[in-house]
């Protein structure tokens, strides 16, 4: 399918395609869309050429949805998660000549000066081809959740709020509000469809690192985003929690090696001993964590990976 954005991309400033993934939400109700539009009004003319592409994962679609002019949209009719949506946006961005892909979910709150600061940063890193992404500081209710460097491949080390510059360490960030260079994404093959929802960002940033790309940390851009795992019982169903743990286990097995295996073992130990046992968290979540803890003790890496791939495929089909 040819996208209308192919015909309308401007040539001035940084060329950015913003992709907003919807799920059971109308475009006009999306906080990401609302705050992006507000940021456009505060952006100096000629600094950035930005178009919006909506990818709707709502099962059965939303026939009554009304999309803004000069945007484009597609409806999958099923829940394809994030990787499929972002890969489709990457395909459009490449065909239309966009330089950057701005990935957004539906409920990320962008500051009014987001595009002003982002466009200045994109102009600075444009000639630095090894810089594959520009990422803001992302917080959930005041708690910094992204970006982070992995210290000795074990534990995340968050950057100071005032840090602005290129990270020389292995660095990862959440998908939402990241601006990723289209050519770099194409070089690593886009997003891994196996990680169709959870850890799609972690795998993508890992592959950028393995291909010697760098990440620019834009500490002057502050973004609010709700991270579901910070409040399990209010934000995460049991099925969803199992999906998260399965993808987490697969990511650390595949991307982080033996040191990663030790790191994840320690993480599971912390969750079981402190987060669940000492805080009196819900028993069903404790049981799921205990099962994955035992799998790391008694299953081989190959067996864990095969079990995750089968489970992930079943989940993907059922969600679709």
Q: What pLDDT sits at residue 278?
A: 58
To the nearest 10°, report the CA torsion of 219, 91, 207, 288. Answer: 90
Asked whether the beta carbons of 103 and 35 are under 8 A apart, the reply is no
Residue (of 188, 194, 179) closest to 207 by Cα position: 188
Distance CA 130, CA 249 (A): 29
Q: Quick one: pLDDT band at residue 210, thresholds 50, 70, 90?
A: very high
Asked whether the beta carbons of 14 and 125 are under 8 A apart, the reply is no
Asked whether the beta carbons of 133 and 173 are under 8 A apart, the reply is yes
Residue (of 136, 155, 132) closest to 213 by Cα position: 132
Q: Is the pLDDT of residue 281 over 70?
A: no
Q: What pLDDT sits at residue 231?
A: 59
Residue (of 92, 102, 80) closest to 196 by Cα position: 80
Structure tokens at 188: 């690593």
Q: Of 64 and 78, which is predicted with more confidence?
A: 78
Q: What pLDDT sits at residue 57?
A: 95
Asked whether the beta carbons of 32 and 20 are under 8 A apart, the reply is yes
Q: Please list, in sequence order, all residues whose beta carbon lies within 8 angstroms of the beta carbon of residue 34, skipping any fewer than 6 positions away.
A: 28
Calculate what percentage of the chain has a pLDDT beyond 90. 60
Asked whether the beta carbons of 230 and 288 are under 8 A apart, the reply is no
Sheet holding 148-151, edge to edge: 155-158, 148-151, 171-172
> Is 236 exposed, middle or buried, given 0-12, 13-18 or 19+ CB atoms closer than 10 A?
middle
- Average of per-residue pLDDT across 267-281: 70
pLDDT tens figures, 128-182: 999 999 999 999 888 899 999 987 666 789 999 889 999 999 999 999 999 999 9
Q: How many CB atoms sit inside 10 A of residue 310's CB? A: 10
Q: Quick one: pLDDT band at residue 312, thresholds 50, 70, 90?
A: confident
């Amino acid at each position: 399918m040819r996208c209308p954005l192919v015909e309308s991309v401007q040539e001035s400033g940084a060329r950015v395609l913003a992709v907003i993934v919807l799920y059971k939400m109308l475009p006009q109700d999306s906080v990401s869309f609302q705050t992006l539009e507000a940021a456009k009004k505060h952006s100096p003319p000629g600094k950035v050429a930005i178009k919006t592409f909506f990818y709707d994962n709502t099962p059965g679609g939303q026939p009554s949805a009304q999309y803004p002019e000069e945007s484009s949209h597609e409806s999958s009719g099923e829940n394809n998660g994030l990787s499929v949506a972002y890969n489709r946006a990457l395909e459009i961005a490449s065909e239309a000549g966009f330089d950057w892909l701005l990935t957004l979910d539906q409920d990320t709150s962008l500051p009014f000066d987001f595009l002003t600061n982002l466009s200045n940063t994109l102009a600075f890193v444009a000639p630095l081809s090894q810089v594959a992404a520009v990422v803001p500081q992302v917080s959930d209710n005041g708690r910094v959740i992204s970006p982070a460097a992995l210290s000795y491949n074990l534990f995340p080390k968050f950057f100071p709020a005032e840090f602005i510059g290129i990270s020389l360490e292995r660095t990862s960030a959440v998908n939402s509000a990241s601006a990723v260079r289209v050519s770099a994404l194409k070089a690593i093959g886009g997003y891994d469809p196996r990680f169709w929802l959870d850890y799609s960002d972690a795998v993508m940033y890992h592959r950028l690192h393995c291909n010697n790309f760098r990440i620019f940390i834009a500490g002057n851009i502050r973004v609010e985003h709700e991270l579901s795992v910070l409040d399990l019982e209010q934000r995460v169903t049991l099925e969803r929690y199992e999906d998260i743990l399965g993808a987490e286990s697969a990511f650390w097995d595949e991307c982080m090696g033996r040191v990663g295996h030790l790191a994840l073992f320690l993480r599971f130990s912390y969750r079981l001993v402190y987060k669940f046992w000492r805080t009196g968290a819900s028993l069903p979540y404790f049981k799921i964590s205990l099962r994955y803890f035992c799998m790391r003790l008694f299953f081989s890496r190959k067996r864990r990976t095969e079990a995750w791939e089968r489970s992930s495929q079943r989940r993907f089909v059922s969600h679709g």
